[in-house]
Amino acid sequence: MSREQNISKAIENIDTKSVILEIKDLRKSFGSNHVLNGFNLKLYEGENLVIMGKSGSGKSVMIKCLVGLLQADSGSIKIMGQEINTINQKDLNILRTEIGFLFQGSALYDSMTVRENLEFPLRRHKTRFKDATNMDELVTEALESVGLLHAIDLMPAELSGGMKRRIALARTLILKPKIILYDEPTSGLDPITSKEIIELMRSIQKKYKTSSLIITHDVDCARVVSERIILLVDGINYVEGTYSELSTSTDAQVKAFFK
């Protein structure tokens, strides 16, 4: 199926509020460890949705199910009209070009330079990005949008934590995804660098018009970027609301997050 067909199919499936990603009753266990017990969410087009939850509550497991890195036990995941749990490998790889994934620890390839890191997804998703002359332009553009063009020939080991995160963001952007999944984008960074990353996320949002699912337990990050917040507690979507609604909640579980 071509990309155009995918998109047109997605458009057909959009309901009135244009949902781009929908999770219904997602369940996932590892042996006797029941991590997700019926999780639901809807991500609307152009929206910034923040998921908060304690460490080990299954946030990473949830977004890994979204891109097929983990297989859910049951439930449905629809992204741009396609069901992830039953999709074949080829269509999944096509769909993956529409989804950017920023990993928790940046996950840059140690053995490759910054340039090779950025070229990797371009070379690999050959169907869409055959043109090699175009590749340099795309790499340059992605690096410019994170302000690190001068680091193009460095190895990941030569970069600071904040630079790594920005390069990882550039690698995520290079395929011009419709949806970006951020797994704790500010974890392990100092407060100032965190602010820079948050600003960067906002400017990318404006420039590329993406829909974002942001996992974090950084309250500042949630306050600045979120339009809506969902709390993940005990494997379900415990409560949902805007930052001001949740931060003034009287529920003990909710309060614990906003101290």
Partner 1 sequence: MSGSNGFKSFFIEIGELTLFAKRFFKELFSRPFEGKELLRQCYNIGNRSILLVAVTGFIIGLVITLQTRPTLEGFGAESWMPSMVSLSIIREIGPVIIALTFAGRIASGIGAELGSMRVTEQIDAMEVSGTNPFKFLVVTRIVAATLMLPLLVLLGDAIALSGSYLIENVKGEVSFVLYFNKVFKVLEFSDLIPATIKTFFFGFAIALVGCFKGYHCEKGTVGVGAAANSAVVFSSMLLFVIDFVAVFVTDIFFEL
d(CA 61, CA 59): 5
| Residue 11 tokens, joined | 């458009």
What is the closest distance, in whole angstroms, from the C-beta atom of residue 60 to Mg ion in the complex? 3
Measured CA to CA in angstroms, residue 193 lies from 77, 164, 173, 189, 221 at distances of 33, 11, 19, 6, 12
- Residue 76 interacting with partner 1 (CB under 8 A): no
Q: What does the per-residue mask of binding to Mg ion show for 44-73, with x meaning CB under 5 A?
A: ----------------x-------------
Strand segments (E) across the chain: 19-30, 33-44, 48-53, 74-79, 82-83, 99-102, 179-183, 211-215, 228-233, 236-241
- Please, where are the H alpha helices in 14-160? 59-66, 89-96, 114-124, 132-145
Closest CA to 214 of 201, 203, 204: 201
User: What count of residues does the chain have?
Assistant: 259
Is position 30 an interface residue for partner 1 (rule: CB under 8 A)? no
Q: Which is nearer to partner 1, 155 or 224 (CB)?
A: 155
Q: Tell whether residue 55 is a contact of ligand ADP (CB under 6 A).
A: yes
Residue 57 CB, nearest approach to ligand ADP (Å): 4
What is the contact mask toward partner 1 in residues 113 to 142, using x (rule: CB under 8 A)? -------xx--xx-----------------
User: Is there binding between residue 101 and partner 1 (CB under 8 A)?
Assistant: yes
The footprint of ligand ADP (CB under 6 A) covers 30, 33, 35, 53, 55-61
- Which residues in this chain contact partner 1 in the complex, by CB under 8 A? 64, 67, 69, 93, 96-97, 99, 101, 103-111, 120-121, 124-125
